[in-house]
Amino acid sequence: MGKLIQMHYRKMAVSAVLLGLFHWFKTPAGDPMLLFVGVGLVVAAIVVNAFASRKASASQGKTSTKGIVISIISGVIMSFFYRFVAEGMTTNFTTPEAGKLTPYSAVIIFSIGLFLSNFLWNTFFMYKPITGTPVTYKQYFTNGTARQHLIGILGGLIFNTGFLFNLIASEKAGPAISYGLGQGATMIGAAWGVFVFKEFASAPKSVNKYLAAMFALFIVGLGLIIVARLN
């Protein structure tokens, strides 16, 4: 589980960088110097995280190259979704433009699309997993406890609530900065991988400096993205 969370961290961080740049070039908002420096620090955090993962894997006789590559590809793919949401959503929430979505209707459409596509992608990766053995839908219901399923549903509710607030904030902050700030969730994911699932518990002590640098770079990068909108 810890490795999956670190892969998720890299994927979300890559998507935050690319999506932030796409939106800024389309609709500039905030101080460009601070914004790009902040984005650069997030990129540096991704690189440091990759170094930490490779060093930890090497100490166990494994390689993390596959996970890093998959994370980057996933981040690139994911960087396109917010753009389409933003372009289909009005930027004036008090007097919505005809034919465009509000944040509330956008989240409903997004949720429906996510729910339906889940049957395709979840099924594919259940039977053709990137790592581990294949699982079936029968195992999903028989091996998973009610508590585990409820935790998954709660996670979805938390994500969608945060996503709704993120869309609402984009009216004032701009899509680039709004999405960038939303990646504070990525930092929480990385923290869970390190402190809860203890992915690096068996890694050499030297890896700790990489992890500390990763957190510092990501936090400072997000801080600069916030300040960029205030200038």
Tens digit of pLDDT for each residue in 82-136?
777 877 888 676 777 788 888 888 899 989 998 999 899 889 989 988 777 899 9
User: What's the pLDDT score for residue 230?
Assistant: 63
Q: CB–CB of 181/39 below 8 Å?
A: no
Give the single-character DSSP code of 196: I
Task: Give Cα separations from 29 to 24, 36, 39, 129, 226 (angstroms).
Answer: 7, 12, 14, 41, 11
CA distance linking residue 100 with residue 96, whole number of Å: 7
At 94, list the tokens.
């008090």
Per DSSP, the chain holds a count of helices (H) and strands (E) of 10, 0
What confidence score (pLDDT) does residue 20 get? 60
Q: What is the pLDDT of residue 1?
A: 42
Total-model pTM: 0.67
pLDDT of residue 120: 92
| pLDDT one digit per residue (tens) for the chain, 231 residues | 445 545 555 555 666 666 666 655 666 656 778 877 887 887 788 778 777 777 776 666 555 567 667 777 777 777 777 777 877 888 676 777 788 888 888 899 989 998 999 899 889 989 988 777 899 989 988 888 899 899 889 988 988 898 888 888 777 766 666 666 666 667 777 777 778 777 777 778 888 898 899 889 888 887 887 777 665
